[in-house]
Amino acid sequence: MKEVVKENLELLAEYEVDDIDTKYQVKSRRTYPKKCLHKSWDYWMDRLHHNETMRLVAGLYTEHLIWHVWVEFVDEKGREVVFDGVLQRFYDKDGYYQKYQIIVDREYTLEDMKEIGVEDFFDEIIKSCSKLASKIITEKFS
């Protein structure tokens, strides 16, 4: 797993945003393989009050058909930024989407989370992404 994380860090290095405002920064640059939902959720909940444009986003890396969750927001410099909870780093949204060949399933706001309910929120994300993955697999191999 460490090699996969290292490959992803290298793949995205040119798109890393390293001058992000301190209110968005994370304390550790430790990585969290297979914890995208939990780490993105934690970040989103901890920082949501700083920026009303923050969204929890769920989708797929189409090259490998892996579902993933991350956070997006527009920073004070007007840049569209992605926070990757696994890698604990910030990236230019366009570069991130291009490298991972992202297909967005859904963007979630705080209001969406309240409507769905905290207890059902993780299940909703997993079910939604699984349906999208099944649909793409069916289209790709039919």
Distance CA 75, CA 96 (A): 16
Confidence of residue 1 (pLDDT cuts 50, 70, 90): low
**Which of 140, 134, 133, 128 lies closest to 58 in space, CA to CA?**
128
* pLDDT tens digit sequence for 78-121: 999 999 999 999 999 999 999 999 999 999 998 888 888 878 88
Q: Which residues contact 12 (CB under 8 A, 6 or more apart)?
A: 84, 87, 89, 91, 95, 96, 99
**Residue predicted with more confidence, 2 or 18:** 18
pTM of this structure: 0.91
Q: DSSP readout, 7-38? A: HHHHHHGGGB-----TTT--S-----TT-HHH
User: Which pair of tokens denotes residue 88?
Assistant: 């604990």
CB atoms within 10 A of CB 95: 16
**pLDDT for 120:** 87
Asked if pLDDT for residue 140 goes beyond 80, the answer is no
**pLDDT for 69:** 95
Distance CA 38, CA 121 (A): 11
Distance CA 102, CA 47 (A): 24
Residue indicated by tokens 């444009």: 53
Residue indicated by tokens 């290292």: 6
Helix (H) or strand (E) holding 43: helix 36-47
Q: What percent of the chain has pLDDT over 90?
A: 60
**Residue predicted with more confidence, 63 or 100:** 100
Distance CA 2, CA 110 (A): 33
